[in-house]
């Protein structure tokens, strides 16, 4: 399996964390697990789309689709050779770039032609270009035109995101709202429109991602990692692990989890 991340241009970078490409002749033998990171994305398939599991049923993903915020583990398995290009948005980047609230798209994967026809028509041919380098360049040029209109920039939400990410999720939401000069309820409503989930859930995801980054490194220790990221006891950590990954800390990283490691933020 060959996976790469590529930074977008400066104008697109206000909305997109990175582009990614994945190519593999086959990824078989085990289920891949993607965990929540507080970011939505777009996936373009140039070969066989993956299958995802929902309500006990495996179903093929669309060839070109938008994936909203996920709030629990996303289970995937290959259906043959893979050739994918992805867009990893900033937490509020999808709403700003696409121009509509994304709260109703949480925990969904929807074909892009059902969601945003204009963008779909422009992106459809990108996946057929000869090389990933050509595809990413074309993709960045297309998104530049969308970035110029940026019709859902909510400065209150942008400031709240900075507060939460700077502290690794270890901040009280009422304090974030107070610094923004609004009520907690007002922040929650606007945050969900722009990010797709509540500020409290986003904070928990950032804290959880922080533990994964530390604990998956050399000479790691779950207890120390949890304490550094603001978990007050082991039971608290295990609850978040079960909710976001469906596993306990040890059982998760004891498995072959290429996708879990690739999409732990920030991977670059």
The answer as to whether 113 is a domain residue is yes
174 in the same domain as 138 = no
13 in the same domain as 130 = yes
Question: Residue 53's domain is classified under what CATH number?
Answer: 2.60.120.10
117 in the same domain as 159 = no
The answer as to whether 230 is a domain residue is yes
Burial class (CB in 10 A: 0-12, 13-18, 19+), 154: middle
Q: Where are the alpha helices (DSSP H) in the chain?
A: 93-98, 112-115, 117-123, 132-147, 155-166, 173-180, 184-195, 199-215, 222-228, 234-245, 249-253, 258-262
171 in the same domain as 234 = yes
Query: What are the pLDDT digits (tens) for 72-88?
Result: 999 888 878 888 899 99
Tens-digit pLDDT profile for the chain (268 aa)? 788 899 999 989 999 999 999 887 765 556 788 899 999 999 998 888 888 888 889 999 999 999 999 999 998 888 788 888 999 999 999 998 888 889 999 999 999 999 888 888 888 888 778 788 888 999 999 998 888 776 667 899 999 999 999 999 999 999 999 998 899 999 999 999 999 999 999 999 999 988 888 776 665 677 777 888 888 888 888 899 899 988 887 777 666 556 665 555 444 4
Burial class (CB in 10 A: 0-12, 13-18, 19+), 56: exposed
118 bridge partner residues? none
- CA 72 and chain centroid, separation: 12
60 in the same domain as 124 = yes
Q: What is the pTM of this model?
A: 0.89
Domain boundary (147, 164, 191) is at: 147
234 in the same domain as 128 = no
What's the pLDDT score for residue 172? 95
Question: Residue 212's domain is classified under what CATH number?
Answer: 1.10.10.60
The answer as to whether 267 is a domain residue is no
Query: What are the pLDDT digits (tens) for 82-111?
Result: 888 999 999 999 998 888 889 999 999 999
Give the C-alpha separation, 118 to 179, whole Å: 38
Report the number of distinct structural domains present in the chain: 2
Range of the domain at 247: 155-262
197 in the same domain as 104 = no
């Amino acid at each position: 399996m060959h996976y790469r991340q590529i930074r977008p241009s400066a104008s697109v970078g206000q909305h997109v964390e990175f582009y990614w490409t994945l190519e593999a002749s086959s990824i078989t033998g085990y289920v891949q697990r993607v965990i929540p990171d507080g970011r939505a994305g777009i996936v373009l398939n140039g070969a066989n789309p993956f299958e995802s599991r929902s309500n006990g049923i495996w179903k093929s993903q669309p060839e070109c689709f938008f994936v909203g915020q996920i709030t629990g583990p996303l289970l995937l398995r290959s259906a043959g050779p893979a050739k994918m290009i992805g867009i990893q948005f900033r937490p509020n980047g999808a709403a700003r770039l696409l121009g509509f609230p994304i709260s109703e798209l949480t925990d969904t994967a929807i074909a892009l032609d059902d969601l945003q026809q204009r963008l779909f028509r422009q992106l459809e041919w990108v996946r057929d270009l000869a090389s990933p380098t050509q595809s990413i360049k074309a993709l960045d040029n297309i998104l530049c035109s969308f970035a110029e209109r940026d019709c859902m920039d909510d400065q209150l939400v942008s400031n709240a995101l900075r507060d939460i990410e700077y502290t690794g999720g270890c901040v009280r939401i009422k304090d974030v709202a107070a610094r923004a000069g609004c009520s907690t309820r007002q922040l929650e409503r606007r945050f969900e429109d722009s990010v797709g989930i509540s500020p409290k859930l986003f904070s928990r995801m950032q804290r959880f991602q922080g533990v994964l980054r530390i604990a998956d490194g050399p000479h790691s220790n779950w207890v120390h990692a949890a304490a550094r990221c603001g978990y007050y006891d082991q039971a608290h950590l295990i609850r978040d692990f079960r909710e976001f990954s469906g596993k306990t800390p040890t059982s998760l990283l004891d498995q072959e989890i290429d996708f879990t490691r690739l999409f732990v933020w920030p991977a670059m």
